[in-house]
């Protein structure tokens, strides 16, 4: 089982460059999300998607774009990288449920992408 | 809004010591609660979970009980090993349809031989 696959594992960008962090899952999960992890701040939600064609902003969306054209893939785009975006990025996926049902499932995480913007 | 507060680290223990990492939460409705573990250079792995009040999650000797009256989900282990050295995250899953997860800041555990 591949689970959640993120690429690349490491990346160095110059300020102003653009790039896309890739995330793919093979568990047929509806819900996918991107987090950034910074020292002393835990994981903060950037963007999330509850299904193909549907995305929404999380806690820290500025500077990032996402799209969800398929159930499997959820790429994160940095249009113009800034040093403040230096972080470790994690993609996660899980099943979703209607509001009327109790949530009882966990998120599965990728291995992370360590991004440095200089 | 919903939030998770966990004790700050680092926590340093000797092998075979008892471990407690405190976690409290604020949420509307009835969230599910999780503990995740992150080993160096890796992603987060689910350690245990509980979906309703008084549920006890357990795995690999770790336990946590969902206490609605104290809004807590403290992680415990009776005898830690060096291999337990990692960062531990408490998290809640919001009960709304959008399925958001909210994480604590993480607690680094170091176990000495």
Min distance A91 CA to chain B CA atoms (Å): 9
Residues A43-53, mean pLDDT to the nearest whole number? 92
- In the structure encoding, which two tokens stand for residue A14, read together? 């110059």
Q: What residues contact A100, with CB distance under 8 A and at least 6 apart? A: none
- The DSSP H or E segment spanning B91 is strand B86-93
Query: What is the overall mean pLDDT for chain A?
Result: 90
Is the CB of residue A43 less than 8 Å away from at least one CB of chain B?
yes
β-sheet bridge partners, residue B18? none
Note the pLDDT of residue B27.
87
B/e letters for A23-34, b = 16+ CB within 10 Å, e = fewer, are bbbeeebbbbbb
Contact B24, B71 (CB under 8 A): yes
- Residue A40: CB atoms within 10 Å: 7
Min distance B96 CA to chain A CA atoms (Å): 6
For residue A63, give Cα distances in angstroms to A11, A66, A77, A82, B79: 17, 10, 8, 8, 45
B106 vs A96, higher pLDDT: B106
Note the pLDDT of residue A98.
47
């Amino acid at each position: 089982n591949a689970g959640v696959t993120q690429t690349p594992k490491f990346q160095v960008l110059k300020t102003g460059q653009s790039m896309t962090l890739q995330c793919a899952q093979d568990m047929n999960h509806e819900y996918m999300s991107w987090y950034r992890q910074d020292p002393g701040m835990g994981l903060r939600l950037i963007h999330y998607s509850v299904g193909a064609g549907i995305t929404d902003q999380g806690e820290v969306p500025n500077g990032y774009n996402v799209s969800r054209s398929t159930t499997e893939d959820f790429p994160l785009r940095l249009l113009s990288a800034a040093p403040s975006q230096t972080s470790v990025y994690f993609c996660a996926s899980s099943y979703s449920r209607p509001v009327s049902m109790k949530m009882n499932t966990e998120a599965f995480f990728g291995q992370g992408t360590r991004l440095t913007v200089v | 809004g919903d939030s998770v507060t966990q004790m700050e680290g680092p926590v340093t223990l000797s092998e075979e010591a008892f471990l407690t990492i405190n976690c409290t939460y604020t949420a509307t409705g009835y969230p599910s609660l999780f503990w995740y573990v992150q080993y160096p250079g890796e992603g987060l792995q689910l350690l245990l979970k509980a979906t309703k009040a008084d549920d006890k999650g357990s795995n690999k000797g770790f336990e946590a009980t969902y206490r609605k009256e104290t809004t807590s989900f403290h992680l415990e282990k009776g005898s830690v090993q060096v291999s337990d050295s990692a960062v531990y995250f408490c998290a809640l899953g919001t009960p709304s349809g959008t399925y958001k997860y909210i994480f604590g800041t993480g607690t680094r555990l170091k176990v000495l031989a």
